[in-house]
Amino acid sequence: MFEIKTIETPNLLARSRLTSADVATSTERLDDYQIELCDTEENFRRLQSEWNDLLDHSARPSVFLKHQWMHTWWLLYGSRRTTSQLFILTTRDAENQLVGVLPLYLERWGRQPLTLRVLRLLGTTDQAPEYLDAIVHQRNSQHILAALLANLAVRRHEYDALQFTDLSREALLPTFLSGWSQTLGGVYQNSLGSICPYLKTVGDFDAFIQSLSTKHRYNFRRETRRLIEQRHAVFEVAVTPEAVQNGLEALFALHHQHWAAKEGKSQFDNQGSHTFHRQLAVALAEEGAVRLYRLNCEGHAIAIFYCFCYNQQLFYYQAGLDPAFKNYSLGAVVIGKMIADCFAENFREFDFLRGKESYKFNWTSLTRPTFICEIALSAPAKLYFCFRHFYRELKKRIRSLQAQLSLQKTK
């Protein structure tokens, strides 16, 4: 077992910020760009090709920022809420090339007369995205983002607060938001979101396996041999839209079987989630951005791992395991296969995404945090977010006290 090492960001607020002078400079340079508000689904849909091309050349590319993810999410979740509306800011240069996108939507919280208008990043809820951010061209990224935020400041009368979640430590937005909020008299808070284990996949896979604990290395190799030699299991990787579509249905069934035998409930095991991924996975598969790793036995899938593939990274998102094979360490076998492929194909990372489940740390000690940035601008928003912060801290203290009391009782 590895010692877990969380790589923290050394003081996000100490990084380059958008100061008052920066805002003024950016406002003066707004004529360098054509900034528009995209607030209709049709205009959003038309952006797909330009959006994804920009993402490929962006400063911080992420599969969760692809147009297919965000547009599908909006159609199936955002647009169905009467309290939400699109609020996407797009930026074009002098040649009319799309060079920046601030992918937002406006959500109304509460009821009149106490309604708050809160800007959030598209895709924030329901399907557990990671590494959200602005999308800006890697050339002049700081200037483009400054111009976008300056335009957002001009629209200040249209919203009361911002709540941006799932921001990585490398995200561009946090470096600007603290100073930006100060220019508008806002209250800024930055807090830890999730922990995402990951591992580097540069070098030699055999050397990597040798770096694992003796117990885990032995278990992985033994169970792989057992499945292949005794049960004649075969690996298969689905990448085409048709194969992905068929594989998803098998994944849903296996995932349901796995959770039916456990207490609790999976957020992936419902019709809404299934509909979302049926549309999303096929759309992304057309660009080679989805892989379904299957382990088949006697012609039937006994394990399916659903992954996204982008920017030389493999993201493990969800899995389905046959309960009848629970004594074969299916998860370890398939994860080992996926990591081996990352080494073989010269990928740079395998990412487990959010969650500190113990099995992930059999493979790695590296983690990266995600962050939540909240900015309250209006007086009601400041009061509301202050209360939320107080309530969260109170819950943490209560849990800490309960843990201490429980520990004392066991002594």
Predicted pLDDT at 401: 83
CB 256 within 8 A of CB 322: no
Q: Rounded to the nearest 10 degrees, how much is the dihedral formed by the CA atoms of 67, 70, 71, 77?
A: 170
Q: Which of 303, 306, 319 is nearest to 238 (CA)?
A: 306
**Rounded to an integer, what is the distance from CA 104 to the centroid of its chain?**
15
* Cα–Cα dist 346/355, whole Å: 25
Q: Which residue has the tokens 């509306």?
A: 85
Helix, strand, coil % (nearest 5) of the chain? 45, 25, 30
Q: How far is CA 310 from CA 177, 221, 224, 288, 316, in A?
A: 27, 28, 27, 8, 12
Q: Phi and psi dihedrals of 364, rounded to 5? A: -155, 160
Q: Count of alpha carbons within 13 Å of 306, Cβ hemisphere only?
A: 25
Q: What is the pTM of this model?
A: 0.88
Question: What's the residue count for the chain?
Answer: 411
- Indicate the DSSP class of residue 116: E
Handedness of CA 196, 5, 342, 362 (dihedral sign): negative
For β-strands 104-109 and 116-121, DSSP reports them as: antiparallel
Q: How far is CA 91 from CA 88, 129, 326, 342, in A?
A: 10, 24, 52, 35
**Residue 73 is encoded by which pair of tokens?**
């999410």
Domains of the chain in start order, with CATH, are 5-197+369-402 (3.40.630.30), 202-347 (3.40.630.30)
Q: Which of 231, 221, 235, 237 is nearest to 296 (CA)?
A: 235
Q: Phi and psi dihedrals of 167, rounded to 5? A: -90, 130
Split the chain (411 residues) into runs of 10 and give each run's mean pLDDT. Answer: 39 40 47 91 97 97 97 95 95 96 96 90 90 96 94 96 94 93 94 95 96 96 94 95 96 90 81 96 96 94 97 97 93 97 97 96 96 95 87 80 75 61
3-state secondary structure of 217: helix
Predicted pLDDT at 31: 64
